[in-house]
Amino acid sequence: MKAELAALTVVAALAVCCGSPNEISIREYDGYAVAYQTDGPDLGFSPTSGLELIYEEGYAFKDLDRDGELDVYEDWREPASKRARDLASKLPVERICGLMLYSSAVDAHSPQLTDQQVGYLKDDYIRHMLLRDVKDAATGAAWSNTVQAFCESEPFGIPSNNSSDPRNYTNGNANTSLYNHEPDGEFDPDGTSNISKWPREVGMAATFDPELMRRHGEIVSKEYRALGITTALSPQADLSTDPRWRRFYGTFSEDPELNRDLVRAYCDAMQTTPGSKDGWGRLSVNCMVKHWPGGGTGEGGRDAHFGIGKYAVYPGDNFKAHLIPFVDGAFKLEGGTKMASAVMPYYTISVGQDPSGKDVANGFSHYIIQELLRDKYRFEGVVCTDWGIVGDYEKVYLHKGKPWGVETLSPAEKRLKCFEAGVDQLGGTADNDVSLEAYRLWEEKYGEESARERFELSATRILVNIFRVGNFENPYVDTSYAAEVVGCREFVEAGYEAQLKSVVMVKNHANALPQKERAKVYQPLRKVAPALNHWMKPIPGYEEYPFGSELLGDYFESVSSPEEADFALVSIKCPFGHWGYILPEKEGEDGHYQPVSLQYSPYTAEYAREESIGGGDPTEDSSNRSYKGLTETSFNESDMRLVIETKKLMGEKPVVVIVATDRPFVPSEIEPYSDAMLLSFGVSNNALLDVVSGKFEPSGRLPLQLPANMRTVELQCEDVPRDMECYRDADGNSYDFAFGLNWSGPIR
């Protein structure tokens, strides 16, 4: 290794002696080396990959294909589009098909690759890895370097485009304090899970502050790049116009204009490298904006991860409003990158939108992808399907393949259908042999020349995004820098400030808040019954004191009985239930559709549709998915009872209720029994206690409507924002979009 570097240094010195203005020096790091140029980009390479540098006109280049010549795609002086076309033209079909695949989620628990990860890279030629769990920042960076060294050793040396779902959020329960509980108040990075923590997307919307969103994107992009992540599977630009949708929490509200501004700010910040001519560079992170053309209109609030929610409906004829965050936000950026570099369609079938009348999911729809997204709105980037769209399908309630509308096609035919629609990549999909079969089907249907041209086009789009972020020059990251930057104090403080700003106070009767320091507080035990998680899997019941005793003791004096207390603090979650379907009791039996309820107590669907708008499935006898007349009871009905019982015990003394809110709910069951009510959208307990104690004055406003009852929920249109009758409390305040209180009253 040292001998090779010494030889390279000699060559670099000769280039300088021959009159080149470019000075080149090479430095060795842990597992990789970097050739630094004064008049060119840094070139990172692995000493074990067999790669050598090429010197031409006094500049250094990476000989990625080992042919001893400077190819166009190896020449960093050329534009990314030209380099991508050159490389795509050289690739054999099997490697193009590999580029068009996106791995399932993988973990970085050590710097080494697992057998599965090696298989993705070597056998399926995948170069897009979705990173899930990371042990810590240094391990994540080291793992990324291992991936890149492996890719560099393969023919053509195409680097990996590592990606991530949103990872900078609290879970809504974590005590993410900036400081530990020691007397010296030292900064405690372990309390932040080693990355900056921000409110969930709907919480960011509650701040109504695009500049704060821009700051969020700037910080997240730096943390991602330090970890070797170059694509973000975000932002989620969907309008949450149906309040029952379980993914409401991951969106920026139900309002088209607010979503537009926040999406634009996020994408601009994530993709822009300051000082770059076109915005792209070593600090850029590709944004894969999702989910085109909007996933928040599932009939009855059901979600399309399951066949029960495959149909998106538009009873208000409001389809175009759902495009606004995309076409006026993500596709019209203020910075040099101009538009988000990738788009992910949602699983849903957009009922009644294709003029041809073909009801297939968005990822299979030529109208939705090619005619609308590409031709009409001129989107030039990569289209990547949501995960598992071409997988095998079994039952409407199983979390497996999601090939809605093409369930009976063969695996290769499903992939062909995606490519015919204009899709470039298949999310969460491996098995390159099936993609090669789809390629052969294209050849049979359209001819050999057409097949090569079509697949090469997708390869070019995909490669452009890897070139623009600088991975072909230097995909390696410094592990010590990652440990220093990811979750550093500056970034954690910024995230924590956003958490504070996202808390919404909707009630403060008789100035119940703020509570005085060291006031005596009673925290009742919260009991939750067994339930089903988001994937319809059983989770056990549990009991908890949501704030614990140690953390609560940092703010107030915790007491064990209401009689001793000055006030009570009740922390609950918004109602959650069966997600619109009751599973069969026995194998081979059928389940049935069910109301999605936003109230705690039992709800009978008196106002639901007699006939569903969407329906039809190979495994169902009826196309009518109506649930009218059926009754749903939330799993956490006990949360409502806890509030009521606590108020009875406290009498005239104030009861402060905090509702962890991931979507709208009906407040009428708990508001009369609360003196103050705070809504949290995925923030830490510390931030909530800072508000309760008066250390921070609430400034958040509702990014949603809180409905007066379930009748208005059933009668609203799934595709229309802000069309519900809102709840009005005992103080006369309407819990409408943009409402919120500070210590003085309604925020104007």
Do residues 376 and 500 touch, judged by C-beta distance below 8 A?
Answer: no
How far is residue 507's CA from residue 741's CA, in Å, rounded to a whole number? 7
CA geometry: angle 736, 738, 743, nearest 5 deg: 100
pLDDT averaged per 10 residues in sequence order, the chain, 748 residues: 43 46 94 97 96 96 97 98 98 98 96 97 98 95 98 98 94 43 36 77 98 98 98 98 96 97 98 96 97 98 97 98 98 98 98 94 98 98 97 92 97 98 97 98 98 98 98 98 95 96 98 97 95 88 92 95 98 95 87 97 97 96 97 97 98 98 98 98 95 98 98 98 97 98 96
Instruction: Give Cα separations from 106 to 118, 516, 644 (angstroms).
Output: 11, 47, 45
CB 546 within 8 Å of CB 552 = no
pLDDT at 11: 44
Per-residue confidence (pLDDT) for residue 176, from 0 to 100? 41
- State the helix-helix crossing angle for 411-421 and 448-468, rounded to 10 degrees: 70
Contacts of residue 675, Cβ cutoff 8 Å, sequence gap at least 6: 507, 508, 509, 510, 512, 654, 655, 656
- Closest by CA to 705, choosing from 83, 205, 310, 334, is 205
By DSSP bridging, strand 33-37 and strand 24-28 are: antiparallel
pLDDT at 89: 98
pLDDT for the residue numbered 186: 42
Q: Report pLDDT for 563.
A: 97
**N-to-C CA span, the chain:** 66
Cβ-count burial 454-464 (b if 16+ within 10 Å, e if not): bbbebbbbbbb
Neighbours of 182 (CB within 10 A): 8
Mode of pairing for the β-strands spanning 526-528 and 542-544: antiparallel
What's the CA gap between 69 and 677, in Å, rounded? 68
Q: How many residues are recorded in the chain? A: 748
Rounded to whole angstroms, the maximal C-alpha distance in the chain is 89
User: Looking at residue 166, what DSSP letter applies?
Assistant: -
Q: With contact defined as beta carbons under 8 Å apart, do 335 and 272 qualify? A: yes
- Alpha-carbon distance of 265 to 30, in angstroms, equals 36
Region at 709 (left for phi over 0; alpha for psi -120 to 50; beta for the rest): beta
C-alpha angle with apex 311: 305 to 315, nearest 5 degrees?
140
Q: Which residues make Cβ contacts (< 8 Å) with residue 497, sequence separation at least 6?
A: none
Q: Which two tokens stand for residue 628?
A: 């009218």
Q: What is the dihedral of CA 246, 249, 251, 256, to 10 degrees?
A: 90
- CA–chain centroid gap for 729, Å, is 34
Nearest CA to 58 out of 34, 35, 80, 39 is that of: 39
Assess contact for 611 and 622: CB atoms under 8 A: no
Distance set, CA 444 to CA 130, 317, 434, 675 (Å): 33, 40, 15, 70
Calpha distance 661→680 (Å, rounded): 6
**What is the token pair recorded at 187?**
């900064």
C-alpha distances (whole Å) from 354 to each of 7, 546, 623, 716 are 62, 48, 20, 24
**Cβ atoms within 10 Å of 497's Cβ, excluding its own:** 17
In this structure, are residues 348 and 298 in contact, taking their beta carbons and an 8 Å threshold?
A: yes
Nearest to 659 by CA among 642, 645, 647, 651: 642
For residue 171, the model assigns a pLDDT of 61
The pTM of this model reads 0.95
d(C-alpha 185, C-alpha 476), whole Å: 36
DSSP, collapsed to helix, strand or coil, labels residue 438 as: helix
**Token code pair at residue 658:** 């905090």
SS3 call for 631: strand
* Distance separating alpha carbons of residues 435 and 57, to the nearest angstrom: 42
Q: What is the model's pLDDT at position 451?
A: 98
Nearest CA to 30 among 148, 160, 162, 142?
142
CATH numbers and ranges of domains, the chain: 93-485 (3.20.20.300), 503-576+636-746 (3.40.50.1700)
Residue pair 499/175 in contact by the 8 Å Cβ criterion: no
Instruction: Report in angstroms the alpha-carbon separations of 434 from 39, 103, 393, 422.
Output: 45, 15, 16, 18
Angle between helices 210-226 and 489-502 (to 10 degrees): 150
- If residue 77 lies in a helix (H) or strand (E), which one and from where to where? none
Q: How far apart are CA 296 and CA 243, in angstroms?
A: 9
| C-beta neighbour count of 186 within 10 angstroms | 9
- Using CA atoms, how far residue 748 sits from 98, 213, 612, 621, 701, in Å, is 54, 21, 41, 53, 10
Counts of helices then strands in the chain (DSSP H, E): 19, 30
Distance between CA 361 and CA 525 in Å, rounded? Answer: 45
pLDDT at 183: 31
CA nearest to 230, candidates 131, 108, 122: 131
